[in-house]
Each structure stands twice: as structure tokens, then as C-alpha cells.
């Protein structure tokens, strides 16, 4: 009888232990809650930045600001009303610029940044500058007011803080049409 009991226990142990490990069940997270909170934070941030830029423009009676359909504002320091060429996709532009914070403090000077070149819509560049350069003609100097989402956004960059709205003053020195690059 004792042997039968030992055999029964052994067999039942083997049967129940051979089922293998069961997979872990995923942890249920409500991602929609996180996304909703993130969207709300960004809406508040965008409103605060827009309000700050509106105040800056209201206090600046020297310039006529233009509201871009791309989500930023700008004015012409030097405008060329005779030139007709705007940069297009594939054109190479040569430009220089200065970056300031919303209080007018210089973060990067033109000398620090040096002269730059950019293949329009074919190279990486902050979205505000990508859109802004396409509004310029050769020889023009334009000041852009970029909300943080059109500049470096959440990540920031060296002297530029996270979610920092920026003021760029850009001089477009040269447009080299794409057909002359070949």
C-alpha cells in the first residue's frame, strides 16, 4: 500500500510539474491617460509661449510682424522687393544667423555659428528654420520668433533649454538653384 501511495504521488507530481512555465501576462497600462496628459501640458506650454510672443510684439512698435501659416512670426530687417527667387526643394542656400532667447539675451552669435549651407528639404534642420528660409530671398535679413516646438522642443541643445522659445535673425546670403548644382 505504501508503494502504491509513493507511485501515485510521484506520478501526480510529474503530471502537474510538466506543464512548463506559463508566460507572464502583460502589465496593463493606460497609455491614453499618459498621452492625454502630455497633450494638455503641450497645449498649456504653447499658449504660454504664444502669449509671451504676443506681448513682445505688442511692446515692439518698430517692426511689423507677419503671422506665418507655419506657426511662427517674423519681420523683415532688410527686404528685397525686386528679387523674385525664393529657395525651392533641392536648392542650396548659404546663410548666417544669431539666436536669442525671448528676453533678447544672445545665446549664439553669428560669429560662433559661422556661415552655414543647407540643401532645402534634403537636410536636417529645425522645422522653424526650414520653413523660414523658404520665405526669404537672397540678401534679405529676417527675424523669426519660433515657439519651442518649431525649434529644439523638449530636448533643447547645449545653451538652449528644454521647451525654450527662440528668436532667430537670419541673413540669406546666397541661393544656388538645384539645376546649377549638377
Is residue 150 one of the residues assigned to a domain? yes
Single pTM value for the model: 0.78
Is residue 171 one of the residues assigned to a domain? yes
pLDDT of residue 83: 81
Give how many domains the chain has, as a whole number: 1
**Exposed e or buried b per residue across 147-169, where buried means at least 16 C-beta atoms within 10 angstroms of its C-beta:** bbbbbbbeeeeeebeebbbbbbb
Is residue 115 one of the residues assigned to a domain? yes
The CATH number assigned to the domain holding 55 equals 3.10.50.40
pLDDT of residue 11: 62
pLDDT of residue 4: 67
pLDDT of residue 20: 59
Is residue 49 one of the residues assigned to a domain? yes
Q: Work out whether the CA dihedral 66, 130, 90, 136 comes out positive or negative.
A: positive
Is residue 26 one of the residues assigned to a domain? no
Q: Quick one: residue 163, left, alpha or beta (phi over 0 = left, psi -120 to 50 = alpha)?
A: left
Is residue 92 one of the residues assigned to a domain? yes
The closest of 66, 43, 38 to 53, measured between CA atoms, is 66
| Domain, as residue range, for 84 | 34-181
Is residue 11 one of the residues assigned to a domain? no
Is residue 16 one of the residues assigned to a domain? no
What are the average pLDDT values for consecutive 10-residue runs of the chain, which has 182 residues? 66 60 65 80 92 94 94 94 89 97 95 95 93 96 96 88 95 89 54
Amino acid at each position: 500500500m505504501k508503494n502504491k501511495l509513493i507511485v501515485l504521488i510521484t506520478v501526480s507530481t510529474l503530471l502537474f510539474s510538466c506543464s512548463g512555465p506559463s508566460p507572464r501576462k502583460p502589465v496593463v497600462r493606460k497609455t491614453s491617460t499618459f498621452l492625454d496628459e502630455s497633450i494638455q501640458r503641450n497645449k498649456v506650454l504653447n499658449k504660454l509661449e504664444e502669449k509671451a510672443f504676443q506681448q513682445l510684439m505688442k511692446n515692439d512698435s518698430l517692426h511689423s510682424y507677419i503671422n506665418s501659416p507655419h506657426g511662427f512670426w517674423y519681420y523683415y530687417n532688410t527686404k528685397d522687393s525686386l528679387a523674385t527667387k525664393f529657395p525651392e526643394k533641392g536648392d542650396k542656400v548659404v546663410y548666417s544667423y544669431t539666436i536669442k532667447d525671448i528676453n533678447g539675451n544672445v545665446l549664439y552669435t553669428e560669429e560662433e555659428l559661422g556661415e552655414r549651407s543647407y540643401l532645402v528639404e534634403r537636410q536636417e534642420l529645425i522645422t522653424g528654420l526650414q520653413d523660414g528660409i523658404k520665405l526669404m530671398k537672397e540678401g534679405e535679413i529676417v527675424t523669426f520668433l519660433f515657439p519651442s516646438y518649431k525649434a529644439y522642443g523638449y530636448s533643447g541643445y547645449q545653451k538652449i533649454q528644454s521647451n525654450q522659445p527662440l528668436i532667430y535673425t537670419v541673413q540669406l546670403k546666397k541661393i544656388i538653384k538645384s539645376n546649377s548644382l549638377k
